[in-house]
Chain A
Amino acid sequence: VSQKETVETSAHGEDVHLSVRMPVERRMSLMSMELLAPLKTGDNSNTEVVSLVYSFQPETSQGATFHCITGVLALGPFPQRRLHIAGISYEFPADELSLINRLAELVMHFDPDILVGWDLKRGSWGYLATRAASYGDSASPPYPQLINSLLLKDLISVTQSLALLLPPDFLQEMR
């Protein structure tokens, strides 16, 4: 919904402001995310993410109001029985890695066209990607690529790996 203002001059020579609400169809979906990584004494650049909030705004048809699907992912210190705001889903992953995996899962589920964050590098997707990359050394799957590969818009990688798994003559038959 957008606000358009036109200015016309009335018969008496004064400006008349006409405000008209113009609903606009938005064909792209957005997903916004903000996170909290508490500071630590010493190294403040890259600390563990303890909670994040995501919000998915689906495509709108004409005249729809501002509507979002919002959820919270929170770790350890956040009490699981207290924090409830109506209309927001709460999840409590076991550790930071499962929090990152869960968010990547949610991005795949909602499949937004645009990822949104106020300050990407310090408080949003960019920070989380850095955190995901920090798991690259210890964990066996290549986690630096985790965020990027799981955030794929279309399922190219899935179809490709499927083609590798299936016997070649099966694909011949399919054609």
Chain B
Amino acid sequence: MTDDFVPVGRHVFNVWRVMRADRSLTSYSFESVSFLIMHRRWAKFSKPLATALLTDTWRYPFFDRATLTDWCRSAEPQLLQRIIYYLVDRTLGSLKILEDCEIVTKVA
């Protein structure tokens, strides 16, 4: 479950690998797994569409790294805020997936 990163005295969970071991799914992308586990649909958007939809107040958790890079370079407060939203969703999403799958509480 670790990729080269081995801190002393702590466990490390690479969540998509954990999910691959735990569930047999067709796709192990964050969006696909979070939908199947949490029943929450998170859309993947292409770059032009993602930018077009920005006027909306809804949150779009999936963007690829190129889109996020563009946003970061643009230095517009609104886009930078989106980056933070995106990271918050992914961070909490990983924990929620582990919680819902009972990975930690599971008694083998």
Interface residues of A (CB under 8 A from B): 1-3, 24-26, 28, 30, 32-36, 38-39, 50-55, 57, 66, 68, 70, 72, 74, 77-79, 82-83, 85, 88, 112-121, 123, 125-126, 129, 147-149, 151-154
Contact = CB atoms under 8 A, between A and B. Distances in A.
Contacts of A33: 91
B22 interface: no
- DSSP majority for the A interface? mixed
Which size class do B's interface residues fall under? 35 or more
A100 to B, nearest CB: 14
B7 A147 contact: yes
B95 A30 contact: yes
Interface string B88-108: 101111111011101011000
Given A113-B11, A120-B3, A153-B10, A77 B75 contact: yes
B87 interface: yes
Contacts of A78: 80, 84
Nearest to B2: A120
Contacts of A55: 88, 91-92, 95
Contacts of B12: 114-117, 120, 125
Contact of A34 (B5, B69, B77, B90): B90
Given A50-B72, A53-B87, A74-B84, A154 B9 contact: yes
A121 B1 CA distance: 11
B99 A66 contact: yes
16 contacts: A25-B105, A30-B13, A34-B87, A36-B68, A39-B66, A51-B87, A57-B95, A74-B84, A79-B80, A83-B84, A113-B10, A118-B30, A118-B90, A120-B2, A120-B5, A151-B7
